[in-house]
Amino acid sequence: MQETQSLLSTLKRFFQDTIIYGIATVVPRLLNFILVPLHTDVLDTKDYSVNTTFYIWAALFNVLLTYGMETSFFRFFSRAEDKNKVYSTSFIALTITTLLFFGLGMLFQDSFIRVVDLDPFFFNIFFSVIILDTLVVIPFAYLRATNRPVRFALVKLLNVFIVFAINIYFLWLVPKFPAFAPQYVLNHFTQKDILGYIFMANLVASGITFLILLPYFFKTKIQFSFSLIKQMWKYGWPIMLAGISFIINENLDKLLLKDILSEEIMGAYSGCYKLAVFMMIFIQAFRMGAEPFFFNHAKEKNAKITYARILEYFVICGGIILLVLVCFIDIFKQFMIPNQEYWKAMAIVPIILLANLFLGIYHNLSVWYKLTDKTRMGMYISLFGALVTVILNITLIGKFGFMVAAWATLAAYGSMMLISYFYGRKYYLVPYNVKKIGLYLLLSVGLSAISFIYFRQNYIVATLFVLIFVGITYFKEQEDIKKILKRS
């Protein structure tokens, strides 16, 4: 009885932190959700492909420049007696490598521009953003590791509000009410200028975030341990390669669609991909709360049971999100993507949603290699997923079109999930209730498929399917749900 109460209390703390981190993730994503229809309305599919290319390369360089240091920081910070040394060492290392990269970027700017295939002006914005964002990685990680989710959330929210406000001003207010704009802006309002304003919004937000977190650059006395950074690098570089593999899984399809088919197809595909935003929000919020939680509670007596229960609740919540989005997809598309030029790629959405749910399960299962310091195994699994993505996309897109890209994403994340589960049983056995998890997963996927194929736009049936899933879930989980929600 006492162990059960302790488990529920631990789960409660986890959910509370996850909710706060979720706010820091959900609100930005929701604001971006509002910007999607704005962007797809003012940008044609070709220009939207440029917008997508900008953020694909930003994501890749973010992984390269942080080289697994964020996760390494959590691992070593949670264990260390001298936590200041961990913070100082990781911060100094990341700052030095970022400044070195900045120097290389300035020396070989033309080569970088050719690689990322961006206009020189857009590249300069892009380059500045990734440098500023990398410099604040460790200060942000410090806030999470020291259980300061509110401060973390406030800074993140400010960042996205700045991006949102600048986008609204230039893409909505100026065209609708030109009297509010200076003549200079009115004289520079071509399609290229509009893209520039979108990118400049990110630069302004990153710059202000950097200034806010600047005090954390001097948070502790300067300490640098070569032995510690070697250990952190050994732990982190496989995570970096796993991150690169994730970027390949998430974004290679879009770049290949542009090269093999057309920029217009890539833009339509990328726009419809945005309909999976709610699943991505959920996964990101979970990861923000889960990663430090898993490390901090690894020594608890009931840690493995806690991890198993968390996965059950993750699948329940993810299953509801999948079902609701698929059942009401034609309502969501009207709000998110009002430009019908994008709708030709709408069939990818259910597949991408399920693929992201599999990815979320994989992140949950990854606790085994992070806690046993077998991060190379995570790297191998991610590289396998990337290999699946590369082979399927390169060999089949030209023959079967853009739908291949969605199915390749599902195949990659599904295989990673299964491999991680079976290897986890060998190295760090967590008592997952596979039958219960499988039931929720099959129920959600089955009802979603029936709704999309046979009852699309029949919202009475759609509502019934959602109620069936929620009702079955509540019937099986009502005791634990009541205890978790009950106030202390």
Q: What is the pLDDT of residues 235-264, one digit of tens each?
A: 888 888 888 888 888 888 888 898 888 888
Task: Please state, in angstroms and rounded to a whole number, the distance separating the CA atoms of residues 406 and 165.
Answer: 32
Task: Please give the average per-residue pLDDT across 406-416, as a whole number.
Answer: 94
Task: Please give the average per-residue pLDDT across 417-424, as a whole number.
Answer: 91
pLDDT > 90? residue 83: no
Task: Please give the average per-residue pLDDT across 219-240, as a whole number.
Answer: 84
Residue 419: what pLDDT? 93
Q: Which of 73, 89, 78 is nearest to 220 (CA)?
A: 89
Residue 46: what pLDDT? 84
- Which pLDDT band, with edges at 50, 70 and 90, does 486 fall under? low
pLDDT > 80? residue 106: yes
Task: Please state, in angstroms and rounded to a whole number, the distance separating the CA atoms of residues 380 and 419.
Answer: 10
Q: What is the pLDDT of residues 336-356, one digit of tens each?
A: 888 888 888 899 999 999 999
Of the chain, the percentage scoring pLDDT greater than 90 comes to 32
Residue found under tokens 């300490």: 223
> pTM of the prediction?
0.74
Q: Which of 152, 75, 90 is nearest to 367 (CA)?
A: 75
pLDDT > 90? residue 438: yes
* Residues 204, 48 contacting (CB under 8 angstroms): no
Q: What is the DSSP string of 419-476?
A: HHHHHHHHHS-----HHHHHHHHHHHHHHHHHHHHHSTT-HHHHHHHHHHHHHHHHHH
The residues spanned by each domain of the chain are: 2-485
Residues 6 or more apart whose CB falls under 8 angstroms from that of 80 comprise 86
- Which pLDDT band, with edges at 50, 70 and 90, does 481 fall under? low
Reported residue count of the chain is 488
- DSSP state, 82? -
Q: What is the DSSP string of 335-361?
A: HH---GGGGGGGGGHHHHHHHHHHHHH
Task: Please state, in angstroms and rounded to a whole number, the distance separating the CA atoms of residues 414 and 362.
Answer: 8
Q: What is the pLDDT of residues 285-340, one digit of tens each?
A: 777 666 666 776 667 777 788 788 888 888 998 999 999 999 999 888 888 888 88
- Which pLDDT band, with edges at 50, 70 and 90, does 100 fall under? very high
Phi, psi (rounded to 5 degrees) for 457: 70, 10
Cβ neighbours, 10 Å, residue 186? 12
Q: What is the DSSP string of 87-115?
A: HHHHHHHHHHHHHHHHHHHHHTHHHHHHH
Residue found under tokens 């590369």: 390
Q: What is the pLDDT of residues 50-78, one digit of tens each?
A: 888 888 899 889 989 988 888 888 888 87
Cite the DSSP H helix spans in 169-302.
174-176, 183-187, 191-213, 226-260, 263-273, 277-296
- What are the tokens at 71? 């996760």
Residue 487: what pLDDT? 47
pLDDT > 50? residue 488: no
Helix 2-42, helix 303-327: angle, nearest 10? 30
Most confident of 19-23, 81-85, 202-206: 202-206
Task: Please state, in angstroms and rounded to a whole number, the distance separating the CA atoms of residues 389 and 405.
Answer: 8
- DSSP state, 68? T
The sign one gets for the Cα dihedral 276, 279, 285, 291 is negative
Task: Please give the average per-residue pLDDT across 420-427, as a whole number.
Answer: 88
The Cα diameter of the chain in Å comes to 71
Helix 45-66, helix 263-273: angle, nearest 10? 70
Residue 185: what pLDDT? 76
- What are the tokens at 272? 């419809």
Q: Which of 345, 167, 354 is nearest to 273 (CA)?
A: 345
Q: In which element (H, E) is residue 152 found?
A: helix 149-168
Of the listed ranges 7-21, 87-101, 309-323, the one predicted with least confidence: 7-21
- Which pLDDT band, with edges at 50, 70 and 90, does 217 fall under? confident
- Which pLDDT band, with edges at 50, 70 and 90, does 444 fall under? very high
